[in-house]
Amino acid sequence: MSCDKFDRPVLVVVDHLGDEENGYTLTAASEHLLKVAGTLTNNEVIALVLNASPQMEKLSACGVSRVVVPELAGRSPRVSSVVADAVIAAERALAQNPLGAILCLSNYRGREVAAFLGAHFRSGAATDVTDVSVVDGAISAHKSVLGGQWKTAFTIPSGLPIVAMRPGAGEAAEPTPVATPGIIPVNVNFSAPSDAVEVMELEELKEHGPALTEAGTVVCVGYGTDGEIEDAQALADRLNGAIGATRAVCDEGWVERSRQIGQTGVSVAPNLYIGVGVSGAIHHTCGISGAQKIVVINEDEEAPLVKLADLAVIGDCHEVLAEVLTELEQS
């Protein structure tokens, strides 16, 4: 068995934040995904961009040599079948040099896109993938299953593999920037599911601080906070981070559901995760497996998250947070 790379290009579906009026920013998770794609191929990394203003400098710095810009004819890239149709059109346009794999992010949309593509190409599609490589010419990957209690290793030996990676997951390598990536415009044939859905309205919910899945620091509040989250929010603000929450906290309505981390919430991969009054149930910790460093404040030294943490502070979270904020104010 040998670890190697594809001689064929890898296509990456990238996500942007923003809108036409204010401009678009390539998400940090997409930047990372492009750099992961670079480890899989000796050939090109090609990005598929779903808006008309690709950030070419950023894409070139991530080693992208060509950018596919599909003509969506007014259809919304929020609809997963529209994105799948665009990828199918890109694959057709690139057929002269067939793709080795297609990568996207394993978020709400990406998981559905992967399923559409797997069905279309009659190939293996894997979601929630935590690492990926090429072994003996085939995709070899891991994913966590059963609420994160098991890790599975698998391969996609034939066909066009579709891999939806957890945001921030996978080994990235520093790419060689490409001077001027080429742009490939493609026309898309829309399928019945794409014609069946029309997005009527899009309202941006103003985030307090950085987006949860993009933040370098996440302060996650658990049931142990008893709903008093002001100090945790102050710490997140001080560290330019985002507030996340456990399901117990969202169930209580202390924090909005969109901030729930875990099996039935979102996955995060920050540099620093701080769990405040969080026990560390497996349904929660499966959503933080990409975190670089885990800090926990909990009064119970037997809590599962304490065992998982790089640093644990045993004590009352309100007292500890108050002290930390005072220290930070004085620094």
Question: Hey, what amino acid is at 158?
Answer: S
Three-class secondary structure of residue 81 per DSSP: helix
Binder to ligand FAD among 277, 309, 312, 321 (CB under 6 A)? 277
**Piece of 25-33, 84-92, 230-238, 255-263 that binds ligand FAD (CB under 6 A):** 255-263
Q: Locate 124 and state its tokens.
A: 């293996």
Report, in Å, the least distance between residue 6 CB and ligand FAD: 34
Binding string to ligand FAD for residues 282 to 321, with x set by CB under 6 A, is what? Answer: -xx------------xxxx--x------------xx----
The reply to whether 259 sits near ligand FAD by the rule CB under 6 A is no
**Piece of 58-66, 155-163, 210-218, 222-230 that binds ligand FAD (CB under 6 A):** 222-230
Please tell me the distance from the alpha carbon of residue 62 to that of residue 29, in angstroms, as a whole number: 12
Please tell me the distance from the alpha carbon of residue 303 to that of residue 285, in angstroms, as a whole number: 12
Three-class secondary structure of residue 267 per DSSP: coil
Beta pairing partners, 66: 46, 182
CA distances from 307 to 277, 284, 320 (A): 14, 14, 19
Binder to ligand FAD among 76, 223, 233, 239 (CB under 6 A)? 223
Q: Locate 8 and state its tokens.
A: 């064929």
Cβ neighbour number for residue 61 with a 10 Å cutoff: 18
The reply to whether 263 sits near ligand FAD by the rule CB under 6 A is yes
Element (H, E) at 34: helix 28-38
Please tell me the distance from the alpha carbon of residue 213 to that of residue 172, in angstroms, as a whole number: 18
Q: Smallest Cα–Cα separation from 324: which of 219, 225, 224, 235?
A: 235
Binder to ligand FAD among 262, 273, 313, 321 (CB under 6 A)? 262
The reply to whether 107 sits near ligand FAD by the rule CB under 6 A is no
The reply to whether 246 sits near ligand FAD by the rule CB under 6 A is yes
Is 277 among the annotated ligand-binding positions?
yes
Q: Please, which of residues 169-208 interact with ligand FAD by CB under 6 A?
A: none
Binder to ligand FAD among 260, 272, 290, 312 (CB under 6 A)? 260
Q: Would you tell me which residues interact with ligand FAD (CB under 6 A)?
A: 222-224, 246-249, 260-265, 277-279, 281, 283-284, 297-300, 303, 316-317
Q: Binding site: residue ranges?
A: 246-247, 260-264, 277-284, 298
